């Protein structure tokens, strides 16, 4: 982060407080292109690269941390990205309440908070309950693409995915457009973790 004043671009930012019911993606993107959601967008690095590579897709970034949300909105606005919107909200509450069933082609989940302490494990986003919700929001053959640097959380993910075997089939992980040599997602968090020598674990699943 720097001290430059961040601009909240209206064409990028969605005010969560003004959403009533299900989001009309055709209305907010002004087209009916497929919609993908990134849960935990950080500074928007993935979104910028992915949106440029796939201009015929729409992307919604969900970020709870205000400083990262504002940075991402400012960055996307300055770059003139047309097919990305950002919203500051809690994904676990927003998705079941405000995303219509069978409306999303892919969920991207890169380096989610692992909630290290055992007593906080129930706060982990990737769990059976949320996987069932994501399944209902995906279109036919929709995908969830996941990367994490936390081995314990990865093992937790695989356990919960296995409990949803009737809903999903495991497929090859889809490498994002911004991933450079040796990277799995190409996010700021990943680049930091790789410098620290951490391993990165990936998994992708498709709606049956």
Q: From the centroid of its chain, how far is CA 170?
A: 18
Candidates 179, 182, 51; CA nearest to 106 is 51
Three-state SS string over 92-142 comes to: HHHHHHHCCCCCEEEEEEECCCCCCCHHHHHHCCCCHHHHHHHHHHEEEEE
For residues 208 and 169, the answer to whether their CB atoms sit within 8 Å is yes
> Residue 157: how many CB atoms within 10 A of its CB?
23
For residues 102 and 138, the answer to whether their CB atoms sit within 8 Å is yes
Candidates 65, 60, 71; CA nearest to 36 is 60
Active site residues: 113
């Amino acid at each position: 982060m720097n001290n430059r004043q961040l601009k909240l671009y209206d064409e990028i930012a969605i005010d969560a407080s003004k959403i009533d019911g299900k989001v009309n993606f055709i209305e907010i993107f002004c087209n009916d292109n497929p919609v993908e959601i990134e849960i935990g967008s950080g500074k928007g690095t993935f979104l910028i690269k992915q949106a440029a590579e796939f201009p015929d897709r729409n992307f919604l970034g969900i970020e709870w941390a205000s400083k990262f949300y504002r940075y991402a909105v400012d960055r996307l606005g300055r770059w003139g990205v047309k097919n990305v919107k950002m919203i500051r909200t809690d994904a676990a509450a927003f998705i079941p309440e405000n995303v219509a069933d069978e409306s999303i082609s892919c969920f991207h989940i890169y380096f989610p908070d692992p909630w290290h302490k055992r007593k906080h494990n129930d706060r982990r986003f990737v769990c059976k309950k949320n996987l069932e919700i994501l399944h209902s929001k995906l279109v036919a053959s929709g995908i969830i693409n996941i990367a994490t640097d936390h081995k314990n959380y990865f093992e937790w993910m695989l356990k919960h995915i296995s409990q949803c075997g009737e809903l999903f089939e495991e497929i090859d992980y889809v490498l994002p457009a911004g991933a450079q040599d040796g990277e799995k997602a190409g996010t700021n968090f990943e680049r930091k973790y790789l410098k620290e020598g951490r391993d990165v674990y990936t998994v992708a699943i498709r709606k049956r």
